[in-house]
Structure 1
Amino acid sequence: MSLAPSGEQFHVSSGSHRATIVEVGGGVREYSVGDRDVLEPYPLDAMCDGAHGAPLIPWPNRLADGTYSFDGNEHQVALTEPDKNNAIHGFLRWRNWQAIEHEPDRVLMATRLHPLKGYPFLLDVQIEYAVSEAGLTVTTTATNRGETMCPYGSGQHPYLSPGPGLIDECTLQLRAASWIDTANDRQLPTGIRPTRGTPMDFTSGKTLSDQELDFPFCDLVRDPDQRAWVTLTASDASRVEFWADNAYEIIELYTGDTLSPDRRRRGLGTEPMTCPPNALRTGAGLERLDPGQSTTSSWGVRLA
């Protein structure tokens, strides 16, 4: 049997909950409950596109010109979004990951980011994927294994599934006081705007039929457990409920209008991010990890 483009497949399950995690990128390729997709899958014989389910490390989203300064040193990384002169979504979504622990209902994926041109730091990253009757829980831990402080940001890029239809037929709910305006040719931040009373206000739920989104939301309203929630309600009243803990200051929502036609609006990109776009350059929300220091963040999703 030929090897899948996404490498070895690691399956986890609990009751009717099933997820598949991949070697290439260490992301989640599919998650379903029974015969209902909770996260939009991509095919076994396809490469991951649109950062589908992938971790975004050591920075999420865009970095203008691929350049930044850290502790007085200038750095240049490769422009992976050359049409916009940006670097995007870090380094780890095309690297091979190892399953260092694998049980029926959980898998712990790991990789080491060695010093690179533009990012001369040593970082160990582990992501635990666990399924239960409560849903899928994803916990990312990064540790600075180098001898100097390193800059760090994290995100992930799952797509919430509307079921068999398109997201046009769904209602979106997200409680966020602000959104980050990236409506320009390079999709870089130009300011933080209030959501209240604007088309970006999803507090009470709003249909996605006439919405085109690719924007980060911030000042997230959280529950007593410090979780922010996104709810996607399908036409059959089934709900996909996504949460992110307070390590994630930002949730980007992406309706997929720039994906290939067969993927367009098939899922809602729901990207928890520990920092906003361009954070390596601006420092906004960026973590500074001392040698030996670790940082952890968690998100999850369930079908209701």
Structure 2
Amino acid sequence: MPPTASGEQWSLRRGAQAAVVVELGGALREYAVGGRPLLDGFAADEPITGGRGQLLVPWPNRVAGGRYRFGGGELRLPLTEPENGNAIHGLLRWVPWRLLARAQDAVTVGTTLFPQPGYPFRLEVTAEYRLGPDGLETTVTATNPGDTAAPYGVGQHPYLTVGTDLVDDALLTVPALLRLDADEHGVPVGEEPVEGTAFDFRTARPIGEQHLDTAFTGLDRDSSGDCAVRLAHPSGDRGVDVRLLQGVEFVQVYTGDTLSEPGRRRRGVAVEPMSCPADAFRSGTALAVLRPGESHVLRWGLSPWGSW
């Protein structure tokens, strides 16, 4: 097989469902039903841009200034979003992940996060992708094998599509009571109820021209603890749910207005399950602290519905 920009390609299939996971960052490249893509992903010979399908470990979103305090000292991360002076989306997006297990409908990949400048902790991280009767489920597990505690957060960055040219006509539902207000650098400065604001998507409505790069919380779960962000076709007869399952406390919704490639702006909606919000390393909000031997699990899923 000729080399690809994202390394090895591991395909999954179950009935009409198909998915592809890649070696680079363990990212989710593709998810389709009946040959129709439900992700605005990337081709095997394309570089990954905009965070598409990437795993965000050991923090999702941003750390302001790349500086935080932990264990009594100040630590400095590389500023990977220099235009805003932030460290963004963790440390494992651009490293190879190894294949740990594979079946026709599932794949498990993993990697080691070694101690490094700004994050002097070791983690063993795995991601299982599994196709089931309800869609694709992803489980990300991080374990601390070291002898000191480690700060930790996790998320993932899929872009959804329901077949519209732009996201404007798509119907969005976000079952959340609160949204985080952010400053010009994307760092949270407070939270407010969505009720009565332009950010109230608790009832499905078209995205229209609204620009979203917004974190939501106060998730409205049902009696079984389930909760889903829904993107639906304008016809209302089909769509895809992002199910926010174990360990998901926040979700970022991004309409892609600031992507570096103009041709990809507003083509898909990023719906990013997160264990904690941006800047959790500094604020401590929902930040996990993994003691030696402890693990953290984040689980989320994609469930297509309607006439695909």
Indicate whether the TM-score tops 0.5: yes
Secondary structure at the counterpart of residue 284 of structure 1: coil
Give the CA deviation at 1:133. Answer: 2.6
Q: Tell me the equivalent position of 1:287.
A: 288
The Cα offsets for residues 131-159 of structure 1, whole Å up to 9 and x where unpaired, read as: 12310000011000111010000000001
Q: Tell me the equivalent position of 2:176.
A: 176
Q: Distance in 2 between matches of 1:67 and 1:196?
A: 34
- Give yes or no for contact 2:280–2:287 (8 Å, CA) kept in 1: yes
Q: Tell me the equivalent position of 2:37.
A: 37
- Give yes or no for contact 1:146–1:291 (8 Å, CA) kept in 2: yes
Give the CA deviation at 1:164. Answer: 4.6
Q: Distance in 2 between matches of 1:267 and 1:235?
A: 14
Q: How many residues get paired?
A: 303
Q: Distance in 2 between matches of 1:135 and 1:40?
A: 17
Q: Tell me the equivalent position of 1:217.
A: 216
Matched, 1:105 2:105: yes
Amino acid at match of 1:247: G
Q: Tell me the equivalent position of 1:250.
A: 250
Give the CA deviation at 1:39. Answer: 1.6
Q: Distance in 2 between matches of 1:17 and 1:81?
A: 35
Matched, 1:91 2:91: yes
| Structure 1 residues 189-268: aligned runs within 5 Å | 189-237=188-236, 238-259=238-259, 260-268=261-269
Secondary structure at the counterpart of residue 143 of structure 2: strand
The Cα offsets for residues 144-178 of structure 1, whole Å up to 9 and x where unpaired, read as: 01110100000000011121522111110111110
- Give yes or no for contact 2:164–2:233 (8 Å, CA) kept in 1: no
- Give yes or no for contact 1:228–1:246 (8 Å, CA) kept in 2: no
Matched, 1:77 2:77: yes
- Give yes or no for contact 1:12–1:131 (8 Å, CA) kept in 2: yes
Structure 2 unpaired stretches of 5+: none
- Give yes or no for contact 2:27–2:55 (8 Å, CA) kept in 1: yes
Q: Distance in 2 between matches of 1:137 and 1:224?
A: 20
Amino acid at match of 1:96: P
The Cα offsets for residues 42-76 of structure 1, whole Å up to 9 and x where unpaired, read as: 12211111110001000000101101000201100
Identity over the aligned pairs, expressed in percent?
42
- Give yes or no for contact 2:157–2:270 (8 Å, CA) kept in 1: yes
- Give yes or no for contact 2:153–2:275 (8 Å, CA) kept in 1: yes
Give the CA deviation at 1:225. Answer: 2.4
Structure 1 unpaired stretches of 5+: none
Secondary structure at the counterpart of residue 82 of structure 1: coil
TM-score normalised by length of structure 2: 0.96
Q: Distance in 2 between matches of 1:48 and 1:38?
A: 17
Q: Distance in 2 between matches of 1:247 and 1:2?
A: 38
| Structure 1 residues 13-24: aligned runs within 5 Å | 13-24=13-24
Give the CA deviation at 1:276. Answer: 0.8
Q: Distance in 2 between matches of 1:185 and 1:289?
A: 31
Q: Distance in 2 between matches of 1:157 and 1:149?
A: 26
Secondary structure at the counterpart of residue 204 of structure 2: strand
Q: Tell me the equivalent position of 2:61.
A: 61
